[in-house]
Amino acid sequence: MTDLWWKSSVVYQIYPRSFADADGDGMGDLRGVIDHLDHLAELGVDVLWLSPIYRSPQDDNGYDISDYQDIDPLFGDLATFDELLAGTHRRGMKLIMDLVVNHSSDEHPWFVASRSGKDNPKRDWYWWRPAREGMEPGAPGAEPTNWGSAFGGPAWTYDKETGEYYLHLFSPKQPDLNWENPEVREAVYAMMRWWLDRGVDGFRMDVINMISKVLPLADGRLTAGAAYGDGSSSYINGPRNHEFLREMHDQVFAGRPGMLTVGEMPGVTVDGAIKFTDQDRHEVDMVFQFDHVWADRGADPWQLIPLRLTALKGIFGRWQAGLAQVGWNSLYWNNHDQPRVVSRYGDDSPEHRVAAAKMLGTVLHLHRGTPYIYQGEELGMTNYPFRTIADFRDIEALGQYHQATVQEGRSPEEVLTVLRARGRDNARTPMQWDDSPHAGFTRGEPWLAVNPNYREINAKAERADPGSVFHHYRKLIELRHEEPAVVDGDFTMLLPHDERLYAFTRKFQTTELLVIGNFTGETVRAEIEDAIAWEEAELVLTNVAEPTGLTLQPWQAVVYRRSM
């Protein structure tokens, strides 16, 4: 039987800026979250993950923090936060914060001090380097290494005053903290303890596998046509990553049972994740890996490639098998950095959206691991019909658009085609609460346009309709809470070479579950062993009115249960 509470839990991610605006300034806020806690309680989720709400210049929507122990007035204040925390706990849910400590804001007092002079005691709290040997400081190409920033442009910015460059793997307003410096690590641990003392239940840790850099810092691989080198081999899964996370565990979580930690780790491998999430190693409880959200990416970032279901199944199969004995998987389709899955891997047409959204949820939630629901996923929210670059607000989209079109000579339409399909702003359009103006998100002017389909797709309509995506997700969460095989069952992939059906079983003690999802708009027969016997078993859950056994209707999912 499971020994760790979060193995049978479901986490709900809130992107406060787009969740609910109570004061009418067009930006979501903490009062808005408080006003909708009952929506989350009815859905049945166990944990709320809040994307950053700390004081921030909002250069990257809060992932650039200038004060880790205060709330940005955009969202509210510490008293309102305490009220939100109390309301969450009163409803039997836990709350985890977003920990963004690979970098801070350039307006954080730590960086202001570090930048003030080479002799400042905090100079070594960040990564400062002189210009490349023999190059004129500040001149193009004089950066200490050829690394590109994730948001376009170089990963180094020249500081005239002190005559050196500082490193930022993201925007220039997000300077990387130097984790080699024990003072930095201690300051971070003290801040984390402060939040845990305040009653929060854990952390989602931003790009936490980037905190250890390979020394000395060296140039990355330069591919033809690219403006900058790929330095990821110097900062992804670095040499002291495990050591730092173990130290963090000892300094912050030791003696505090019942916490949840999940590390966001672009580029983490299965073997790496086994080590990071092995409970005996005391690092993190689970990681966010990216393989399945990169399954529709090719070598050329500005080219869309269609998803091959066998590729997706190959990825999930590897992660399920790899962490079957040691470690634990997170399960997610969506977050604030990914496009809406029903538009990406499903079908968001009016005819098939509801079935596809339910099928994708069913297939994901019945894997072995902890599911994460991103706000609006429980309503089947879709991508937004972006037209021009002017419709976008995301620093990553704008920065990458500039680099691709201006520095790399791509056509605007070529780049826009990918941003429309993959841009992060697709996930950040305001939550659709009802069919009133601005979908009930705000009385003011929303910071990002509401999806025009809000009259059809909104929480009020979904909660009133027993056949909705909302109630299907509620049943999935209930099933995880009631059926131990969903939590602890051994995973076996079926039909690995089928490009239309995603099928697997879960076995636990005397219970066996069969889960099949149809990833097409066609009717498809599941040619599995024992088909007849399964068709006589208990159909626990499906998303069509008249199921036809293992002959699956377009975008249909089935969950059967039998005793072995």
Applying CB under 6 A, the residues found at the interface with ligand TEU are 60, 63, 100, 150, 170, 206-207, 264, 266, 336-337, 396, 424
Q: Identify residue 208 by its one-letter amino acid code.
A: I
Nearer to ligand TEU, 39 or 340 (CB): 340
Is 230 an annotated catalytic residue?
A: no
- Strand locations in 65-222, DSSP E? 67-71, 94-99, 128-129, 156-159, 164-167, 202-205
Shortest distance in whole angstroms from residue 420 CB to ligand TEU: 14
Shortest distance in whole angstroms from residue 466 CB to ligand TEU: 35
Nearer to ligand TEU, 63 or 125 (CB): 63
Residue of minimal CB distance from ligand TEU? Answer: 63
* Annotated active-site residue in 60, 72, 201, 206: 206
> H-type helices in 159-256, by residue range?
182-197, 241-248
Shortest distance in whole angstroms from residue 477 CB to ligand TEU: 24
Contacts of 551 (CB under 8 A, 6+ apart): 523, 524, 525, 526
Is 46 an annotated catalytic residue?
A: no
Shortest distance in whole angstroms from residue 266 CB to ligand TEU: 4
Q: Which pair of structure tokens corresponds to residue 229?
A: 């080198």
Contacts of 459 (CB under 8 A, 6+ apart): 39, 379, 431, 432, 433, 434, 470
Coil vs helix vs strand at 56: coil
Distance, CA of 354 to CA of 381 (rounded, Å)? 10
What is the H or E stretch that residue 470 is in?
helix 469-482
Contacts of 105 (CB under 8 A, 6+ apart): 56, 57, 59, 64, 65, 66, 111, 173, 174
Nearer to ligand TEU, 53 or 150 (CB): 150
* Annotated active-site residue in 29, 264, 296, 377: 264
Nearer to ligand TEU, 85 or 293 (CB): 293
Q: Cis omega (within 30 of 0) on the bond before 496?
A: no
Shortest distance in whole angstroms from residue 491 CB to ligand TEU: 26
Nearer to ligand TEU, 170 or 328 (CB): 170
Return contacts of 442-450, CB within 8 angstroms, 24+ apart.
442/21, 442/24, 442/25, 442/26, 442/27, 442/28, 443/21, 443/24, 444/21, 444/24, 444/25, 444/26, 445/26, 446/21, 446/26, 447/17, 447/18, 447/26, 447/27, 447/393, 448/18, 448/393, 449/384, 449/391
Nearer to ligand TEU, 63 or 392 (CB): 63
Shortest distance in whole angstroms from residue 422 CB to ligand TEU: 7
Asked whether the beta carbons of 410 and 227 are under 8 A apart, the reply is no
Nearer to ligand TEU, 120 or 232 (CB): 232
Strand partners, 501: 518
Shortest distance in whole angstroms from residue 333 CB to ligand TEU: 14
Q: Identify residue 138 by its one-letter amino acid code.
A: G
Active site residues: 206, 264
